[in-house]
Amino acid sequence: MTVPLLSVDRVSKRFGGLYAVRDLNIAVQRGEIVGLIGPNGAGKTTAVSLITGFVRPDEGAITFDGVDVTGRMPHRLATLGMVRTFQHTASYPSASVLENAIRGAFLVGYRGALASLVRTRAARVAAREASEYALSLLQDLDLLRFADRPAGSIPYGHQKVLGLVHALASRPRLLLLDEPAAGLNQDEVDHVRAILEKINQSGISVLVIDHNVRFISGMCKRLIVMYQGSVLAQGPAADVIKLPAVIEAYLGGMREPA
């Protein structure tokens, strides 16, 4: 039996005595792109924060590539290859687009912070390698023309893509994306979807969190549906979006999720 790249086993989290996530059981296989969906308030973002170490679970276990990583800090998980993005856009809006991309490489302590401080030869080589890789990512994702501009000044849709570049610069094996298409027009949504498919085809596993079923089901073969902090349904996307319980959770049974 194939061991999942990510396994979440009966993870729960309470805030003020109320469950935000309860008995969460999900898995992501190597090379898979999975959608985690649910209406607003379903617990999706909390679930991702638990998985990526920004919030510590009260119960349960999280395993990454066979290693128990429950409660590990985000930067420790990044060194193992698990990186997330956030709903906001550029991480450093006043820094240039290129600087944002380069800083992503240092999420994993690129060749050592101490060496960078003393500017050793190894640090200079590492800085050059990080810059070259960042430039290649900007070119691949059509942001090279903005390289010298402040990240906060470029169009919103491009800022969203820059968030992906920042994460990719750390060379992740699993990328967790929190509403990457939020606030985008349809052309921008289609562009982001194409980029995510390209990222997945390069061998990176992807877990995409969103409440927009149409966006996610167009690129994910498998969906996990959360509702009121728990998994409501999971399985092939084409089947899951037609389940009466899923339709009811989104729209009170009026019609299929949009």
From the number of C-beta atoms within 10 Å of its C-beta (0-12, 13-18, 19+), residue 242 rates as exposed
Q: From the options 3.90.230.10, 3.40.50.300, 3.40.190.10, 3.40.228.10, give the CATH code of 1-81+172-258.
A: 3.40.50.300
- How much is the pLDDT for 113? 46
The gap between the terminal CA atoms of the chain, to the nearest Å, is 36
Instruction: Count Cα neighbours of 187 within 13 Å in the Cβ-side half-sphere.
Output: 3
Q: Is 37 left (phi over 0), alpha (psi -120 to 50) or beta?
A: beta
- How much is the pLDDT for 111? 46
- How much is the pLDDT for 1? 61
- 180/159 Cα distance (integer angstroms): 10
Instruction: Count Cα neighbours of 166 within 13 Å in the Cβ-side half-sphere.
Output: 25
- How much is the pLDDT for 90? 56
Long-range contacts of 235-240 (CB under 8 A, 24+ apart): 237/35
Q: What is the DSSP letter of 151?
A: G
- How much is the pLDDT for 10? 96
- How much is the pLDDT for 133? 87
pLDDT in tens, the chain (258 residues): 678 999 999 999 999 889 999 999 999 999 999 999 988 889 999 999 999 999 999 999 999 999 999 999 988 998 899 998 876 655 678 889 998 888 877 665 544 444 454 556 766 777 778 788 889 999 988 899 999 999 989 998 889 899 888 888 888 999 999 888 888 888 888 888 999 999 999 999 999 998 778 888 889 999 999 999 999 999 999 999 899 999 888 766 444 454
H-helix or E-strand spanning residue 60: strand 59-64
β-bridge pairing 174-178 and 18-28:
unpaired
Q: 220: closest CA among 234, 187, 229?
A: 234
- How much is the pLDDT for 256? 46
- How much is the pLDDT for 119? 59
- 59/250 Cα distance (integer angstroms): 28
Q: CATH 3.40.50.300 spans which residues of the chain?
A: 1-81+172-258
- How much is the pLDDT for 40? 85
The alpha carbon torsion through 222, 15, 83, 233 (nearest 10 deg) reads 0
pTM given for the model:
0.85
Q: What is each CA distance from 151 to 57, 93, 127, 166, 186, in whole angstroms?
A: 34, 5, 20, 11, 22
